[in-house]
Structure 1
Amino acid sequence: MSDNKLIQAIKDKGKTMEAEMSFFDHLEALRWHLIRASIAVVVLTCFAFYYYDWIFDTVIMGPSKPTFWTYRMLCNIGDYFHRPGFCIDKINIHLLNTEMAGQFTLQVNSSLLIGVTLGFPYLLFEIWRFIRPALHEKERKAASGFVFYATFLFILGVMFGYYVITPESINFLSGYTVSPLIENKFDIDSYLSSVSTLTLATGIVFELPILVYILSSLGILTAKFMRDTRRYAIVIILIIAAVVTPTPDMMTMTVVSIPLFVLYEVGIMVSAVVEKRRLKRGEAVE
């Protein structure tokens, strides 16, 4: 009897060791996926550092110039509708550096931000490669477009943040004064922080349909729940639009909130499709 218990204990220990080895094997695989993604980010960061003159003048400082694409489009719209107030021909922004290593730090930090932004699709690809072996064949086919759609939404959000939210915010904040006795002079780090935050935050917010897909696949979120809470979602979206766009005019707030409304409705459709697939799977199992 004791021999049987000993043999069973050895078998249980073997299963435990096998599970632990499997767990550590997964950690090792994840480590290499993250290492490859980090190398890609470092390479892109070095690329941005090398071509920094063009990146700084054209990309980073673009929203601070009246020749920026957004301002030119607003001028064209103003001319078409005979609204000269739409045209922005001057931006009162004066940047300064107050630290000894400030400009070098600026180049390093902004190059890293650009490297992370450009490397985000490859990071998604490595995450997908790590998750894919654990999925069943049907789940793998259903999620085969994960990297494409997530990358597309992220780029769309970054472009929207860079070409719509950022220039409107910079134009408003640079010209806003409490008193004529106070002169606006902005630290270059503050400017970079504003541009990067508004741009990247919008890119992340545009990943809402992907988040809805994941939560719906796990059974946490349903289309019915999203429809029932639509009125609360509208209030939250308007608050987010008001926070993200510090400009007080209703037009800018509307321009920002409309894509968020569209994303929410797309999320409802995504959740409904996931539910139908789950029901079909359940019927097939039965």
Structure 2
Amino acid sequence: MAAVTNTQSFWEHLDVLRTAIVKIVAVAVVFGIAAFLFKEELFAVVLAPKDDGFVTYRLLDHMAAWAGSAVEPFSVRLINTGLAQQFVIHMKTALCAGVLCASPILYQLFRFVSPALYDNERRYVVRMVGGGYAMFGLEVLVSYFMIFPLTFRFLGTYQVSGEVDNLITLDSYISTLVMMCLAMGIVFEIPILSWLFAKLGFLSADFMRRYRKHAIVIILVLAAIITPTSDVFTLSLVALPMWILYEVGILIIDKTCNK
């Protein structure tokens, strides 16, 4: 059954869209201002992975102790090299936190387009948007608690010589963290996009299996592009989840689209 017909004019539709966008921006700004005001709490979370007391490192220490070995403690000092850079980074970080916290308000855009959808189309869109948002949230947690800490610990403590100290800039730290979260956020949408393309008839599980080797090559190329560094360790941390998600996409298509 089709959705209820909307008799609004083009300009009325445009006004509804503008209202939805204004609400989204307003909520993001409010959350961004709140994050800016709570500077200590914000950067306590953002800078936590740089300390060896972070939960991921403690877990690694426990695993190493269980295996009968020891992990050396590490210390990485962050520095600032620009006069206004800390203030600018504070604003950018608060804005990113505001957008992340306000992201659920994006349902306003769905409310705008949903009247034009048929019931079956609406169900697909709800599943895709809901699943995509859940996968993005999962990616943020995976990137924050696993991929970024392991990358930072490896690269932040790597030395070609004991005479060369690592002094990581705050800008480099924040940029790497944000870039990895955003890049992996796109990567984690692979199962959702696979399901959608399969539903639309553009993709099949057999096709994905047939071209698995080609996909692995593409995954390695994409991982090399989206990683902020050029080391094999970070490349592997990014490429492995991409390959796993590719396989998950095949399983999802088998379970939901081949019945």
| TM-score, length basis structure 1 | 0.76
Residue 242 of structure 1 and its aligned partner are, at CA, apart by 5.8
One-letter code aligned to 1:115: G
In the TM superposition, what whole-angstrom CA distance separates every residue of 1:24-77 from its partner, at most 9, and x where no partner exists? 4443332222221111211111121121202212x1111100000110010011
Higher helix residue share: 1
- Distance in 2 between residues matched to 1:127 and 1:263, nearest whole Å: 27
SS of the residue corresponding to residue 219 of structure 1 reads: coil
| 1:95 counterpart SS class | strand
One-letter amino acid matched to 2:94: S
- Find out whether 1:90 has 2:74 as its counterpart: yes
- Looking at CA atoms only, which structure, 1 or 2, has the larger radius of gyration? 1
Asked whether the 8 Å contact 1:48–1:55 carries over to 2, the reply is: yes
State the shift of 1:200 in Å: 2.5
State whether residues 66 and 90 of structure 1, in contact with CA within 8 Å, keep that contact through their aligned partners in structure 2: yes
Alignment match of 1:215 (pick from 175, 197, 200): 197
Distance 1:45 1:29, change over 3 A: same
Displacement of 1:163 in angstroms is: 1.0
- Alpha carbons of 1:259 and 1:29: their partners in 2 closer, same or farther (altered >3 Å)? same
- Cross-structure match for 1:169: 151
Which 5+ residue runs of structure 1 have no aligned equivalent? 1-20, 278-286
- The answer to whether the 8 A contact 2:128-2:196 is kept is no
Point out which structure has higher relative CO (alpha carbons under 8 A, 6+ apart).
2
Aligned equivalents of 1:27, 1:88: Cα separation in 2: 59
Aligned residue pairs: how many?
250
- C-alpha distance in 2 between matches for 1:77 and 1:241: 28
Task: Please list the CA deviations of residues 207-264 of structure 1 after superposition, one character each: whole Å capped at 9, or x if unmatched.
Answer: 2222223333443333332222111122333445566375545xx7666544323321
Cα displacement (A) at 1:197: 1.1
Matches within 5 A, 1:85-234: 87-91=71-75, 93-123=76-106, 125-234=107-216
Amino acid at match of 1:77: M
Match of 2:57 in 1: 71
Q: Is the 8 A contact 1:48 1:111 kept in 2?
A: yes
The farther-off stretch of 239-248 and 65-74 is: 239-248
- Larger deviation, residues 217-226 vs 100-109: 217-226
Report the Cα distance in structure 2 between the residues aligned to 1:148 and 1:106, rounded to whole angstroms: 31
CA–CA distance in 2 between the matches of 1:209 and 1:163? 21
Cα displacement (A) at 1:131? 2.5
Counterpart-to-counterpart distance in 2, 1:46 and 1:29: 26
Percentage identity across paired residues of the two chains: 36
Distance 1:231 1:191, change over 3 A: same
Residue 148 of structure 1: CA displacement?
2.9
Letter in 2 for 1:214: L
Give the Cα separation in 2 of the matches to 1:225 and 1:173: 38
Q: Does structure 1 retain, via aligned residues, the 8 Å contact 2:74–2:157?
A: no
**Matching residue of 2:247:** 265
Contact 1:33–1:126 (Cα < 8 Å) also in 2:
yes
- What is the deviation of 1:88? 4.6
Greater mean alpha carbon deviation, residues 268-277 or residues 183-192:
268-277
Q: How far apart are 1:195 and its partner, in Å?
A: 1.3
Q: Look up the equivalent residue of 2:60 and give its one-letter code.
A: L
Per the alignment, in what secondary structure is the counterpart of residue 144 of structure 1? helix
Provide the alpha-carbon RMSD of the alignment.
Answer: 2.7
